[in-house]
Amino acid sequence: MCMKNYLRYLLLLFTVLISCSVMAQNVVWRDQHQVKRKETIFGIAKEYGVTIQQLIDSNPIMKTPGYELKKGALILVPFAKDGDFRPDGSIMGKTVKPSKADKEAKKKGANAAAIAKQENAIHVGIMLPLHNQDGDGKRMIEFYRGVLLALNEMKSEGITTDVHAWNVPKDADIRTTLSDPNASKLDLIFGPLYSDQVKPLADFCRAHGTKLVIPFSITGNEVENNPNIFQVYQTDESLNSKAIASFLERFQKSHHPVFINCNDANSQVGNFTSTLRKQLDILKIKYSLTSLKSSAADFAKRFDKTRPNVVILNSEKSPQLNEVFAKLAQLKKTNPGIAIALYGYNQWFVYQDYDLDNFFRYNTYIPSTYYYNKSSEKTKSLEAKYNEQYDEPMAKQYIPRLALTGYDQAQFFVRGIKAQGKDFKGVYSEVKYRPLQTRYNFERVGQGGYINNNFQLIHFTTDQKMENLVY
């Protein structure tokens, strides 16, 4: 893409996104339409009963000089407003006495399919910061795009949805958003991003029988008291417990643990390593302690030469990991027969593009709730579709991939509600969908809501394979 076109695209993207950036603005789309060959803007507007101007306003890219409607493009279709003309000449918002012909057509079932489609639609709400003003907004736009791709795909299977999206930034009062009449009609809401917005949204969902999917990590315990909540991300305490349990199950009887002090004052994994050491002490399992500052000779003494070693770092960061790789390479050079495995952190997925060979070389295990397999054909297909639709790739700095997260969550919950209605409880077996990145299988918390209990170990084997070990 030449620089002129690139700059024009950035300007266009900013124009589209800034239209959503007014606090608590309701951005409502009725449907998505995939353009067919020889279709026109006039024909699409007529099909959905909206004006040409409304269609253009909902798709600012149409205002670009030289814009052409292309086959395969996704067009956002707005709801017609009160006062707008319907294709039959009647006016939205006014009660229209059906004509004799209309009655006859209805009697014969001419409109049965359209009526059924509308009645069976699942009403989906998005309440997240959808703007281009900071990192949160950009990440949530990518998440939202993934949701839209999923809904459009399900549409081809006959699963229809009405989508309502609100921009809810950090300083917004979400109660303003909830005052919109469309909010009370929703079956399902994805949001919010910020912890202080959870309680008013959760209370609203409980009052209106709406299922609330909290897609990202938050603080608070609303899920323990509200049966309408589905909390996707688990607490750090829960993840640490599962990671320690899986470590003991896999290595307790066969490996010698070696803890490496990485001298990282800002480490976020200290609680995991200290708790793991306490468990090893309780079980009377001997382990060794060493440091990146240790001499090569002293470092080597901490490793067992007669059985495999499993290495644990007290840092999740890339510079420290690379120092460990260098120390281990030196160790293996002087002790070629020594066996080493690494037990790491999901933050390491961010580094796999340039550390992948080392992950394989050192038999690395990463405990995680997600698994981004970039070599998967389904993943590559969706990434290509995203690139084609939005004229840019998914952001690589986000792990898990935010568009894949939105896609997986929309597929799982919409399909679940379609199959089980209000009785859907997030059980994996109730949904005929295999996620691309994060598995979902929810369990109830007392008399409250539901938390995803999925946990897995991603194993990078020495023969260059990746295993997904699900617990």
Give the pLDDT score at 118. Answer: 57
| 326 compared with 48, residue with greater pLDDT | 326
Integer Cα distance of 105 and 35 in angstroms = 28
Other Cβ atoms within 10 Å of 355 Cβ, number: 20
Q: Is the separation of the CB atoms in 256 and 310 below 8 Å?
A: yes
| 91 compared with 195, residue with greater pLDDT | 195
Q: Is the separation of the CB atoms in 128 and 390 below 8 Å?
A: no
In this structure, of 112-116, 233-237, 273-277, the range with the lowest mean pLDDT score is: 112-116
Structure tokens that stand for 444 in this block: 């109830």
| Kind and range of the H or E run holding 167 | strand 161-167
pLDDT in tens, 123-146: 999 999 998 888 899 999 999 999
Q: How far apart are the first and last CA of the chain?
A: 45
Q: Which of 294, 257, 305, 298 is closest to 277 using CA atoms?
A: 257
Structure tokens that stand for 375 in this block: 């070599």
Residue 91 pLDDT exceeds 70:
no
Give the pLDDT score at 96. Answer: 39
Structure tokens that stand for 235 in this block: 């607490």
Number of H helices, E strands in the chain: 15, 17
Q: Is the dihedral of CA 249, 251, 257, 263 positive or negative?
A: negative
Residue 28 pLDDT exceeds 70:
no
Q: Provide CATH code, domain 237-368.
A: 3.40.50
Q: Provide CATH code, domain 1-86.
A: 3.10.350.10
CATH class of 118-234+373-453: alpha beta
- Cross-strand partners of 161: 122
Residue 101 pLDDT exceeds 50:
no
Integer Cα distance of 220 and 206 in angstroms = 17
- Cross-strand partners of 73: none
Residue 299 pLDDT exceeds 90:
yes
Give the pLDDT score at 100. Answer: 47
Residue 355 pLDDT exceeds 90:
no
Calculate ∠ Cα 368-374-376, nearest 5°. 105
Give the pLDDT score at 330. Answer: 97
Strand 288-291 relative to strand 256-261, pairing:
parallel
Q: Is the separation of the CB atoms in 417 and 187 below 8 Å?
A: yes
Residue 7 pLDDT exceeds 60:
no
Strand 31-34 relative to strand 74-77, pairing:
antiparallel
For the chain, the structural domain boundaries read: 1-86, 118-234+373-453, 237-368
pLDDT in tens, 211-221: 999 999 888 88
Residue 263 pLDDT exceeds 90:
yes
One-letter amino acid of 421: G
pLDDT band at 259 (very low <50, low <70, confident <90, very high): very high
Q: Is the separation of the CB atoms in 260 and 324 below 8 Å?
A: yes
Q: Is the dihedral of CA 23, 26, 31, 34 positive or negative?
A: negative
Q: Is the separation of the CB atoms in 182 and 78 below 8 Å?
A: no
Q: How large a percentage of the chain has pLDDT more than 70?
A: 84
pLDDT in tens, 401-447: 999 999 999 999 999 999 999 999 999 988 989 899 988 999 999 99
What mean pLDDT is predicted for residues 341-363?
90
Q: 118-234+373-453 and 237-368: same fold?
A: yes
pLDDT in tens, 369-411: 888 887 889 999 999 999 999 989 998 777 789 999 999 999 9
Q: Is the separation of the CB atoms in 450 and 444 below 8 Å?
A: yes
What mean pLDDT is predicted for residues 156-179?
94
Q: Is the dihedral of CA 395, 401, 406, 410 positive or negative?
A: positive
User: Angle between the 236-251 and 270-282 helix axes, to the nearest 10 degrees?
Assistant: 40
What mean pLDDT is predicted for residues 340-365?
91
Mean pLDDT across the chain, nearest whole number? 85
Could you please report the per-residue DSSP string of 263-292? --TT-S-HHHHHHHHHHHHHTT---EEEET
Give the pLDDT score at 83. Answer: 42
Q: Is the separation of the CB atoms in 186 and 129 below 8 Å?
A: no
Integer Cα distance of 206 and 447 in angstroms = 13
pLDDT band at 277 (very low <50, low <70, confident <90, very high): very high
Q: Is the separation of the CB atoms in 111 and 183 below 8 Å?
A: no
Give phi and psi for 457, each to the nearest 5: -110, 125
Q: Is the separation of the CB atoms in 61 and 12 below 8 Å?
A: yes
What mean pLDDT is predicted for residues 318-327?
96
Residue 183 pLDDT exceeds 50:
yes
One-letter amino acid of 50: V
Q: Is the separation of the CB atoms in 386 and 405 below 8 Å?
A: no
Residue entry with tokens 């495995």: 341
Q: Where are the beta strands (DSSP E) in 211-359?
A: 211-214, 229-231, 256-261, 288-291, 309-313, 340-343
